[in-house]
Amino acid sequence: MTMCKGAAQGVEYLHKQSCIHMDLAARNCLYSEDKMVKISDFGLSRLGTSYTIRGARKMPIKWLAPETIKSFTFSLKTDVFSYGVMVYEIFTNGNEPWDGYTNAEVKKGVRSIGFYSAMNLVKFSTS
């Protein structure tokens, strides 16, 4: 819980600065010995409240909000969705979302089936 709270505080700070991270994931959170979370890897981040990617770019599809997968538009709200996926990673001991599916399968599922139906495809781990 401490990790989740620390990451949420980091996201809140970024959003108060009108910074969209665009790549929130456990792999981009540093956790110190004194249990502080620092969000890292700002390579995709943008200042503003909305940003649309134009042209091909490698993206973390499995962490993206459905609307981002469909339109390539990011917002502060889509960061919050990615934060939720990161919480899933933390509570499943690092399991990748959509485990067993390729990025292409995830994109196709979200675009054609819709998010809530597509989530039924996720294999939740009990380990």
Strands (DSSP E) along 21-123, which ranges?
Answer: 29-31, 37-39, 46-47, 50-52, 73-75
Concerning whether 41 is annotated as a catalytic residue, the answer is: no
Annotated active-site residue in 23, 34, 79, 99: 23
Residue 22 CB-half CA count within 13 A: 24
Helix (H, G, I), strand (E, B) or coil at 124: coil
- Catalytically annotated residues: 23
